[in-house]
Amino acid sequence: MQYLHFFSCISMLLLCSGMCRALACEVNDANKGIAITIEVSKSGEGQFETIQSAIDSIPPSNSQWTRIRISPGIYKEKVTIPQDKPCIFLEGAGTKLTSVEWDAHADTASSTTFASNAEDIIVKGITFKNTYNRPYDLSMASDSVSLKQAVAVGVLGDRTVFYNCSFLGVQDTLWDAYGRHFFQNCYIQGGVDFIFGNGQSIYENCVLRYSFGDYATSYNYGYLTANGRGSADDPSGFVFRRCRVIGKGTAYLGRAWNAFSRVIFVDSFLSDVVAPEGWWAWNHVGHEAFDCEVTYGNNKVAGSIYISKSGRGNFKTIQSAIDSIPPWNSQWIHIRISPGIYREKVIIPQEKTCVFLEGFGRKSTSIEWDDHEDTAASPTFTSIADNIIVKGITFKNTYNRPMDVMDVNKDNLTQAVAARILGDKSVFYHCAFMGVQDTLWDDHGRHYFHKCHIQGGVDFIFGNGQSIYEKSIIKYSIGDYGLNRSYGYITAHGRASADDPSGFVFNRCAVIGLGKAYLGRAWNTFSRVIFTNSWLSDVVEPEGWWAWNNVGHE
């Protein structure tokens, strides 16, 4: 089952060897993962007539997946899953049929129609409403604002998932309070701060509907989100992906409830309801932090440099262009590199921030070198600065190529890195990384790779990066050389402790090639690599992973 599988993967801490082993809740394979099912029906046809009485019947510290199936109906009750009742799967008959409604509003924390306080909770196909501020048109008729915090759902437990649910309210509809949460295909409606809190959450394929316009109030602005992140090392934040923001009137995407509020909208449709400014700093006006300044009207770039091997640009080598940028530059500098093979070693030092390096496509602009003395000295391209964007360039280490000259029985491969990324906030679009052993050293920091091609045979994506690879081709190349090597390794991740946030996520990628390769080997005891929504060809070893020095500690 899709949702149980998702769970087993997010609850994994150690290397996940094919089947994930650290399950927070026991599954019963004979019964599609569910150990116990309890039926709730208002008409008396189930074991219970209220949802709360079904929850109360589950023993504390329950460790088996327990499904509470809720028949169609409007359940007028306040529902709480207490902290000591994990592993519950609350399943309604769909948002149009099963609804839970209440109207508390005395204070924010106690106003929840549904409060989920335990870990490992799945909710599906239910509408949750706080009806207090509704019908809103009556209370707003005189302009005397009587709006109150009235929460529909509060989510306070870790590892909680909502599929196909609706959240209806006006102010503070969804209190995404604490923990890691996933919302998919949900509908969330409100006017003020209607998704708020300190959750570390992903919202996917959701509809956010700003409802103030419906009531024709004199409110000029509403706020979709109010995230409460309080410090730079607080991991919380809201990510909205493939979502739709709709409604009438005007709303900010969010206001900064705290000094480090973090909300991201990506690949989403934002209708005219979104205020052009996007965000409001609230109590933090004047403290907005931009890593790199953008200049409007000039392609959002402050400076532009053109590199051409033929001498028609500002520079003939990439390194000389980078050297020309003033240290601790804080405005986006655009370096365009005309087609050609640039035989040079390139370094972006730590103080050359805010650089956008753009080639003419990875088939046209290539940077190549062949160092191999030791891993650290070998990279063709090294990027140490924060806030770097790279687009349309191939990075190659040519040392181990052509491999066909190698003695097939003598494994004389050596570490020869094409690119090493050490800076934080670095993004690569439409790039290629070519090598054989240790091609891409995704060393430290948060990185994003989109539509890239990464090729190699041994540990060819390795390091301690905290990175997302999307829509990329991962090509295992050993088979191309007819080399009779029994196994290769795509990744070697170096996560060393349970609180190290690093990890590689491959989403919508394709793993191709000839021969056989493991998805990864555990370079360290907490190595973390996840392949999701990806196509894995026959090149992938059926066992998936190799624990390397950590055999027995999976």
From 459, 480, 499, 538, active-site residue: 459
> Could you tell me the smallest distance in angstroms from the CB atom of residue 68 to ligand NAG?
16
Instruction: Say if CB 223 and CB 249 are below 8 A apart.
Output: no
From 438, 442, 443, 538, active-site residue: 438
> Could you tell me the smallest distance in angstroms from the CB atom of residue 407 to ligand NAG?
4
Instruction: Name which of 4, 120, 114 is nearest 63 in CA terms.
Output: 120
- Across 171-266, the runs of DSSP E, i.e. the strands, are 174-176, 180-184, 187-190, 192-197, 200-204, 207-210, 222-227, 237-241, 244-247, 251-255, 263-266
> Could you tell me the smallest distance in angstroms from the CB atom of residue 70 to ligand NAG?
14
What are the phi and psi torsion angles at 266 (to 5°)? Answer: -135, 140
Cβ distance to ligand NAG smaller for residue 143 or 407: 407
Cβ distance to ligand NAG smaller for residue 134 or 516: 516
Cβ distance to ligand NAG smaller for residue 164 or 324: 164
Cβ distance to ligand NAG smaller for residue 212 or 399: 399
Cβ distance to ligand NAG smaller for residue 4 or 348: 4
> Could you tell me the smallest distance in angstroms from the CB atom of residue 2 to ligand NAG?
6
87: left (phi over 0), alpha (psi -120 to 50) or beta: left
Cβ distance to ligand NAG smaller for residue 365 or 415: 415
Q: Residue 333 pairs with which residues in a beta bridge?
A: 303, 355
CA atoms of 214 and 217, how far apart (whole Å): 8
> Could you tell me the smallest distance in angstroms from the CB atom of residue 223 to ligand NAG?
28
Distant-in-sequence, close-in-space partners of 517: CB < 8 Å, separation ≥ 6? 457, 476, 478, 487, 488, 489, 490, 511, 539, 540, 541
C-beta neighbour count of 377 within 10 angstroms: 12
- The footprint of ligand NAG (CB under 6 A) covers 2-3, 124, 163-164, 185, 400, 405-407, 410, 412, 484
> Could you tell me the smallest distance in angstroms from the CB atom of residue 478 to ligand NAG?
12
Token pair, residue 92, equals 């309604």
Determine whether 459 is an active site residue. yes
Instruction: Say if CB 452 and CB 475 are below 8 A apart.
Output: no
From residue 377, alpha-carbon distances to 290, 316, 366, 369, 428 in Å are 33, 24, 20, 12, 22
List, by residue number, the catalytic residues: 438, 459
